[in-house]
Amino acid sequence: MEQAAERSSTLVASTSQGSDLDPISRVRKLLFRQMLVGIKDGRFFLGNFHCIDKQGNIILQDTVEYRSIRKSSPSPTEQRCLGMILIPSSCRTSCHVDCSIEEQLSLIQLKE
Protein backbone atom coordinates (compact mmCIF):
# COMPACT_ATOMS: atom_id res chain seq x y z
CA MET A 1 0.00 0.00 0.00
CA GLU A 2 2.78 2.43 0.92
CA GLN A 3 4.67 1.54 -2.26
CA ALA A 4 1.67 2.48 -4.41
CA ALA A 5 1.39 5.83 -2.63
CA GLU A 6 5.12 6.51 -3.12
CA ARG A 7 4.91 5.56 -6.82
CA SER A 8 1.93 7.85 -7.46
CA SER A 9 3.65 10.76 -5.74
CA THR A 10 6.78 10.29 -7.88
CA LEU A 11 4.68 10.17 -11.05
CA VAL A 12 2.96 13.42 -10.09
CA ALA A 13 6.30 15.05 -9.28
CA SER A 14 7.91 13.94 -12.54
CA THR A 15 5.01 15.15 -14.68
CA SER A 16 4.77 18.47 -12.87
CA GLN A 17 8.48 19.22 -13.39
CA GLY A 18 8.35 18.93 -17.18
CA SER A 19 4.88 20.37 -17.62
CA ASP A 20 6.05 23.97 -18.14
CA LEU A 21 7.84 23.31 -21.44
CA ASP A 22 5.76 20.43 -22.80
CA PRO A 23 2.48 22.31 -23.51
CA ILE A 24 4.35 25.25 -25.02
CA SER A 25 6.30 23.05 -27.40
CA ARG A 26 3.08 21.26 -28.39
CA VAL A 27 1.34 24.55 -29.19
CA ARG A 28 4.34 25.77 -31.20
CA LYS A 29 3.98 22.71 -33.43
CA LEU A 30 0.43 23.84 -34.23
CA LEU A 31 1.34 27.40 -35.29
CA PHE A 32 0.17 28.37 -38.80
CA ARG A 33 -1.51 25.00 -39.37
CA GLN A 34 -5.05 24.83 -40.66
CA MET A 35 -7.52 24.40 -37.80
CA LEU A 36 -11.25 23.66 -37.81
CA VAL A 37 -13.07 24.96 -34.71
CA GLY A 38 -16.72 24.25 -33.92
CA ILE A 39 -18.79 26.44 -31.62
CA LYS A 40 -21.99 25.92 -29.62
CA ASP A 41 -24.42 27.43 -32.15
CA GLY A 42 -23.40 24.92 -34.84
CA ARG A 43 -21.04 27.10 -36.87
CA PHE A 44 -17.53 26.02 -37.86
CA PHE A 45 -14.49 28.18 -38.53
CA LEU A 46 -11.61 27.05 -40.75
CA GLY A 47 -8.45 29.12 -40.57
CA ASN A 48 -4.74 29.20 -39.80
CA PHE A 49 -3.93 28.85 -36.09
CA HIS A 50 -2.27 32.07 -34.92
CA CYS A 51 -2.23 31.89 -31.10
CA ILE A 52 -3.93 30.81 -27.90
CA ASP A 53 -3.97 32.63 -24.55
CA LYS A 54 -3.98 31.37 -20.96
CA GLN A 55 -7.77 31.29 -20.89
CA GLY A 56 -7.92 29.06 -23.99
CA ASN A 57 -9.20 31.66 -26.45
CA ILE A 58 -8.02 30.88 -29.99
CA ILE A 59 -7.12 33.35 -32.74
CA LEU A 60 -7.39 32.17 -36.36
CA GLN A 61 -6.13 34.01 -39.47
CA ASP A 62 -7.65 33.91 -42.96
CA THR A 63 -10.78 32.34 -41.53
CA VAL A 64 -13.84 31.09 -43.38
CA GLU A 65 -17.11 30.61 -41.48
CA TYR A 66 -19.36 27.66 -42.37
CA ARG A 67 -22.95 27.42 -41.16
CA SER A 68 -25.77 25.10 -42.07
CA ILE A 69 -28.83 26.42 -43.85
CA ARG A 70 -32.21 25.05 -42.80
CA LYS A 71 -33.86 25.95 -46.13
CA SER A 72 -34.00 23.50 -49.00
CA SER A 73 -31.18 24.63 -51.25
CA PRO A 74 -28.61 22.91 -53.45
CA SER A 75 -25.84 23.70 -50.95
CA PRO A 76 -26.51 22.63 -47.33
CA THR A 77 -23.92 25.06 -45.92
CA GLU A 78 -23.26 28.74 -46.35
CA GLN A 79 -19.77 30.20 -46.13
CA ARG A 80 -18.26 33.65 -45.76
CA CYS A 81 -14.71 34.97 -45.43
CA LEU A 82 -13.94 36.65 -42.11
CA GLY A 83 -10.18 37.23 -41.89
CA MET A 84 -8.75 37.22 -38.34
CA ILE A 85 -11.10 36.16 -35.54
CA LEU A 86 -11.01 35.33 -31.84
CA ILE A 87 -12.97 32.31 -30.65
CA PRO A 88 -13.68 32.35 -26.90
CA SER A 89 -13.01 29.09 -25.07
CA SER A 90 -16.51 29.23 -23.55
CA CYS A 91 -18.07 28.91 -27.04
CA ARG A 92 -15.79 26.19 -28.42
CA THR A 93 -17.10 22.62 -28.75
CA SER A 94 -14.50 21.01 -31.02
CA CYS A 95 -11.06 21.70 -32.43
CA HIS A 96 -9.30 19.77 -35.21
CA VAL A 97 -5.85 20.37 -36.71
CA ASP A 98 -4.85 19.40 -40.23
CA CYS A 99 -1.71 17.26 -39.86
CA SER A 100 -0.44 13.76 -40.56
CA ILE A 101 -1.30 10.78 -38.36
CA GLU A 102 2.27 10.59 -37.04
CA GLU A 103 2.11 14.24 -35.95
CA GLN A 104 -1.26 13.68 -34.29
CA LEU A 105 0.12 10.76 -32.32
CA SER A 106 3.17 12.76 -31.22
CA LEU A 107 0.91 15.58 -29.99
CA ILE A 108 -1.24 13.29 -27.84
CA GLN A 109 1.58 11.02 -26.65
CA LEU A 110 1.60 10.62 -22.87
CA LYS A 111 4.87 10.50 -20.96
CA GLU A 112 5.37 8.49 -17.76
Domain with 30, as residue range(s), is 2-108
Give me the pLDDT at residue 72, please. 64
Give me the pLDDT at residue 27, please. 87
Residues 6 or more apart whose CB falls under 8 angstroms from that of 34 comprise 46, 47, 48, 49, 97, 98
**pLDDT tens digits for range 21-76:** 578 888 888 899 999 999 999 999 999 999 999 999 999 999 999 998 876 666 68
Residues 6 or more apart whose CB falls under 8 angstroms from that of 62 comprise 47, 48, 83, 84
How many domains would you assign to the chain? 1
Question: If we measure between CA atoms, which residue out of 24, 43, 32, 26 comes closest to residue 94?
Answer: 43
What's 97's domain CATH number?
2.30.30.100
Task: Give residue 112's pLDDT band: very low, low, confident or very high (50, 70, 90).
Answer: very low
pTM higher than 0.85: no
Question: If we measure between CA atoms, which residue out of 108, 55, 44 comes closest to residue 80?
Answer: 44
pLDDT at 2 over 80: no
Task: Give residue 89's pLDDT band: very low, low, confident or very high (50, 70, 90).
Answer: very high
